[in-house]
């Protein structure tokens, strides 16, 4: 992304405004110092008409979830103590980032938000259950709070920022904790609410992750859903680009917590990024890419602590000839074997899938035969109920503590040498299943969860660190695939 491109003035008129959508993650807004870093970044985007998507402050969503679970288990006092700690933290960040004068305009809205949360914890305790609807109300508060504080901090820095309630713009279905936008109405509301503000030179700030049904019942888009919000908003407003600001230098060849030698991937295709997110890479929400891809809007993954870094560019045609891009591991996978009592006729398959759908399971079909099929799920909580419902129709068994290790890259399946190298490198490992699926961009295999980290490190050494990697590109412009030399 060149400085010259940054300095191009935006076109005038509501229909012509193509903003840059900038999503800041929790660690990029975790305290007043982080918010000030975000402000400096935004100031360099003013001519591009920035629009901000704010995540909850770091760890807030987890703390809210823990408070909700405590309340549901009858530990209301402990839940309220945790809520009081969160209130003190938000009030302190607001005071530090916005200054005493602007903090006064925030004080009452923040107090009101926490009063509502206190009442909600009481309702959860009375019900003895953290229902999906309660959970959406509770967890969505993190983004509501941060997205109110950020505009005040921007105003303190001389920026004309305006809070916009995302729940009034993102209209979703009622699938609580994993809601899906109702696209036509969402696009209409986003354009109506945001285009005039952008045309006036204002900086809209929305909370990510949250929405509401057409009846104004709060919903969420799933954990990490602020990325998805950025893509939804960017597509609705025909953004010039979408920037995901996080605490790493872009998408890496693997999780640096598993492998410190992980390197930045300079560029990748929409499809590669979507596969990586789907198979467990934490830097992007799995649904992020689809809206941007439909409108061909480039997505950049950037580091708010290193704003001069190049990050990762995600586009339709990256022009990168490297076959292998990254390796990821999806932990906490359960393999479910469903064996029909007689045979898997179409109507029986349909009934099996309907039972899983009622329990809000997203399924990966691994293999099927005339009488059985194997599925992957990420939670076993409802499997006893599913097995009971299918009794007489099919027998259900499952194995927990599995991991899906996945190699991602354009046309990786067309390189048979890759699979043979994997088999040789992992000859001592019991591979539960190899899956290539319908995509040409990934090869995945199932292993015991306890082995996954070691296998990722082995494969990373094989494909990204060996001088004799036959898939490496020697050009200095492709450092991610280079065996030796300097890394960016």
Phi, psi of 325 (to 5 degrees): -110, -45
Give CA angle at 376 (375, 381), nearest 5°. Answer: 105
Between CA 368 and CA 365 the distance in angstroms is 8
Q: What is the pLDDT of residue 91?
A: 98
- What is the CATH number for 48? 3.40.1160.10
Q: What is the pLDDT of residue 84?
A: 98
Say if residues 22 and 42 touch (Cβ distance below 8 Å).
yes
In a domain, 409, yes or no: yes
Nearest to 178 by CA among 98, 53, 287: 287
Say if residues 446 and 432 touch (Cβ distance below 8 Å).
yes
Domain check: are 341 and 196 in the same one?
A: no
Domain boundary at 194, 219, 247, which? 247
In a domain, 121, yes or no: yes
Instruction: Supply the DSSP symbol for 372.
Output: E
Answer with the residue of higher pLDDT: 410 or 47.
47
**Would you say how long the chain is, in residues?**
488
pLDDT at residue 416 tops 90? no
Domain check: are 207 and 93 in the same one?
A: yes
For 63-74, the pLDDT digits (tens) are 999 999 999 999
Q: What is the pLDDT of residue 427?
A: 83
Specify the DSSP element, H or E, that contains 425: helix 416-425
Between CA 236 and CA 244 the distance in angstroms is 17
Specify the DSSP element, H or E, that contains 242: strand 241-246
Q: What is the pLDDT of residue 1?
A: 43
Between CA 394 and CA 214 the distance in angstroms is 38
Strand 326-340 to 394-408 pairing = antiparallel
For 320-330, the pLDDT digits (tens) are 667 789 999 98
Between CA 241 and CA 19 the distance in angstroms is 8
Q: What is the pLDDT of residue 324?
A: 84
Give Cα 63 to chain centroid, integer Å.
18
In a domain, 1, yes or no: no
Domain check: are 194 and 333 in the same one?
A: no
Answer with the residue of higher pLDDT: 437 or 43.
43
Q: What is the pLDDT of residue 258?
A: 86
Dig out the tokens for 400 from the structure: 């927990």
In a domain, 120, yes or no: yes
Burial class (CB in 10 A: 0-12, 13-18, 19+), 26: buried
Domain check: are 42 and 190 in the same one?
A: yes
In a domain, 303, yes or no: no
Percent of the chain at pLDDT > 70 equals 89
Strand 442-448 to 267-269 pairing = unpaired
Between CA 297 and CA 384 the distance in angstroms is 43
Domain check: are 224 and 338 in the same one?
A: no
Mean pLDDT of the region 134-140: 98
Say if residues 72 and 44 touch (Cβ distance below 8 Å).
no
Domain boundary at 247, 279, 298, which? 247
For 77-96, the pLDDT digits (tens) are 999 999 999 999 999 999 99
- Write out the residue range of the structural domain in which residue 382 sits: 326-481
Mean pLDDT of the region 161-169: 98
Phi, psi of 374 (to 5 degrees): -115, 135
Mean pLDDT of the region 107-120: 97
Domain check: are 336 and 239 in the same one?
A: no
Domain check: are 344 and 235 in the same one?
A: no
Say if residues 298 and 239 touch (Cβ distance below 8 Å).
no
When pLDDT is cut at 50, 70 and 90, the band that residue 281 belongs to is confident
Tell me the CA distances in angstroms from 282 to 4, 155, 298, 346, 478, one per residue in order: 32, 32, 19, 36, 23
Nearest to 22 by CA among 9, 37, 11, 33: 37
In a domain, 69, yes or no: yes
- What is the CATH number for 471? 3.30.2130.10
In a domain, 67, yes or no: yes
In a domain, 283, yes or no: no
When pLDDT is cut at 50, 70 and 90, the band that residue 385 belongs to is very high
Helix (H, G, I), strand (E, B) or coil at 99: helix
pLDDT at residue 62 tops 70? yes
Nearest to 259 by CA among 455, 473, 444: 455
Say if residues 405 and 329 touch (Cβ distance below 8 Å).
yes
Domain check: are 217 and 330 in the same one?
A: no
Q: What is the pLDDT of residue 237?
A: 97
pLDDT at residue 366 tops 80? no
Domain check: are 346 and 460 in the same one?
A: yes
Domain check: are 334 and 211 in the same one?
A: no
Between CA 56 and CA 278 the distance in angstroms is 22
Q: What is the pLDDT of residue 282?
A: 77
Q: Looking at 203-345, list the stretches that DSSP marks H as alpha helix, in order from N- to C-terminal side.
A: 226-236, 270-278, 289-294
Domain check: are 92 and 202 in the same one?
A: yes
Dig out the tokens for 262 from the structure: 């992980």
Q: How far apart are the first and last CA of the chain?
A: 16
Task: Work out the mean pLDDT of the chain and round it to a whole number.
Answer: 87
Domain boundary at 179, 212, 247, which? 247
For 450-482, the pLDDT digits (tens) are 999 999 999 999 888 753 344 343 333 333 332
Domain check: are 170 and 38 in the same one?
A: yes
How many domains, the chain? 2
């Amino acid at each position: 992304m060149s400085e010259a491109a940054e300095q191009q003035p935006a076109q005038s008129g509501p229909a012509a405004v193509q903003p840059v959508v900038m999503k800041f993650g929790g660690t990029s807004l975790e305290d007043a110092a982080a918010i000030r870093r975000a402000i400096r970044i935004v100031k360099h985007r003013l001519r591009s008409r920035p629009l901000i998507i704010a995540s909850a402050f770091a760890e807030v969503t987890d703390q809210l979830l823990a408070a909700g679970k405590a309340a549901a288990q009858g530990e209301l006092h402990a839940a309220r103590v945790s809520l009081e700690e969160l209130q003190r933290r938000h009030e302190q960040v607001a005071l530090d980032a916005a200054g005493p004068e602007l903090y006064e305009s925030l004080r009452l809205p923040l107090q009101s938000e926490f009063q509502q949360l206190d009442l909600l914890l009481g309702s959860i305790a009375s019900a003895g259950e953290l229902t999906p609807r309660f959970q959406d109300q509770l967890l969505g508060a993190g983004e509501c709070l941060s997205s109110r504080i950020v505009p005040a901090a921007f105003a303190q820095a001389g920026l004309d920022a305006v809070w916009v309630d995302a729940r009034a713009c993102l209209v979703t279905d009622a699938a609580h904790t994993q809601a899906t936008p109702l696209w036509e109405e969402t696009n209409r509301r986003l354009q109506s609410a945001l285009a005039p503000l952008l045309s006036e030179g204002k900086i809209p700030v929305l909370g990510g992750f949250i929405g509401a049904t057409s009846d104004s019942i709060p919903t969420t888009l799933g954990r990490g859903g602020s990325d998805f919000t950025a893509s939804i908003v960017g597509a609705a407003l025909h953004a010039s680009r979408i920037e995901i600001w996080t605490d790493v230098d872009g998408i890496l060849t693997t999780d640096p917590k598993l492998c410190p030698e992980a390197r930045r991937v300079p560029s990748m295709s929409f499809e590669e990024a979507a596969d990586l997110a789907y198979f467990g890479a934490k830097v992007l929400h799995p649904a992020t890419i689809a809206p941007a891809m439909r409108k061909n809007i480039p997505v950049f993954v950037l580091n708010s602590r290193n704003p001069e870094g190049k990050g990762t560019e995600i586009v339709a045609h990256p022009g990168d000839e490297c076959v292998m891009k990254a390796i990821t591991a999806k932990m906490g996978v359960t393999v479910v074997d469903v064996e029909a009592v007689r045979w898997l006729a179409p109507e029986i398959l349909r009934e099996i899938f309907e039972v899983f759908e009622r329990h809000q399971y997203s399924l990966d079909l691994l293999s099927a035969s005339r009488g059985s099929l194997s599925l992957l799920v990420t939670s076993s909580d409802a499997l006893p109920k599913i097995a009971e419902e299918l009794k007489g129709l099919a027998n259900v068994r499952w194995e927990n503590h599995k991991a899906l290790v996945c190699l991602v890259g354009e046309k990786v399946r067309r390189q048979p040498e890759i699979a043979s190298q994997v088999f040789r490198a992992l000859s001592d490992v019991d591979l539960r299943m190899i899956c290539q699926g319908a995509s040409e961009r990934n090869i995945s295999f199932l292993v015991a969860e306890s082995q996954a980290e070691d296998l990722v490190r082995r494969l990373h050494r094989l494909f990204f660190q060996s001088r004799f990697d036959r898939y490496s590109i020697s050009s200095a412009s492709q450092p991610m695939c280079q065996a030796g030399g300097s890394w960016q």
